[in-house]
Amino acid sequence: MKININKTCIVLFSILFFGGCTNNKLLPLEPVAELLPGILIGYLDHNVIPDGVGLLPKAPAKGNEEDNRLNNQVIKKKSGLRWDLAKSDDNLEFPVAARIFSCSIDAEISKENTPQLYRLLRRSATDAGLSTYAAKKHYQKDRPFMINKSPTCVPTKEAHLRTSGSYPSGHAAIGWLWGQIFSEISPEHSNKALVRGWEMGESRLICNVHWQSDVDAGRLMGSATFARLHANSEFTKAMKAAKLEISAVRSDGLKSSRDCKAETQSLTY
């Protein structure tokens, strides 16, 4: 696969995965190249990744009335379990990110126990993240904290976030894509998986780093990427393998290592 990225694209991924460029060695699976250190290439060639400029409505003006109204409602949740979960959801670093959905599907997810699924999440995140790139670059929409001057849940990233367009949300795209993936490979937990994927987008609002329109657009890109991935044989094979892994993990009684009680409480605010 020919990889063609530019400096701006690297900035995008340094923001999405800031602090997450690890040097994890792959398990003995077929080798996969890296887009950036620690970030695997996706399944989709550049010319078939969904294009946000063509798919999405024009980005609303910064600070428009509806975005401001919804933003003001959500950013009040700056304490407690939901605020903590929003901060946690910002972290797309592996292996931490691999466990985000482990409570919702009632199974441990790790590089050691679910290697196919672990790789599937890493590669699909790249596809979803890249699906938002063209629109981010095109619109360069200011983020909420740049307008309302309220704090974010990721103060150390604010300088980087100022250089990346807010519309659409890459985290929301990845979260919604993963929610659909888990809904398919663990259908008995479909509702919980989709709720968790949805809440990853809500976390971006609570963190004051995205507007509602950014999150809505990100979810659309996540859906578009999920649909396109199903035309990729490598992806569909990985999905089947991941489903078998989840069944094996459940048979072995391996539960999530996250604090699922606290997570459930945070999602019932």
What are the catalytic residues? 171, 204, 210, 214
Closest CA to 216 of 100, 105, 126, 135: 135
Query: Do residues 203 and 100 make contact, with C-beta atoms less than 8 angstroms apart?
Result: no
Start-to-end Cα distance in the chain: 45
**What residue type is 165 in one-letter code?**
G
d(CA 208, CA 143): 8
d(CA 42, CA 34): 9
* Cβ within 8 Å of residue 228, ≥6 positions away: 44, 48, 49, 50, 127
Q: Is 34 exposed, middle or buried (0-12, 13-18, 19+ CB in 10 A)?
A: middle
d(CA 164, CA 139): 10
Task: Name the pairing type of β-strands 39-40 and 34-36.
Answer: antiparallel
Query: Do residues 172 and 219 make contact, with C-beta atoms less than 8 angstroms apart?
Result: yes
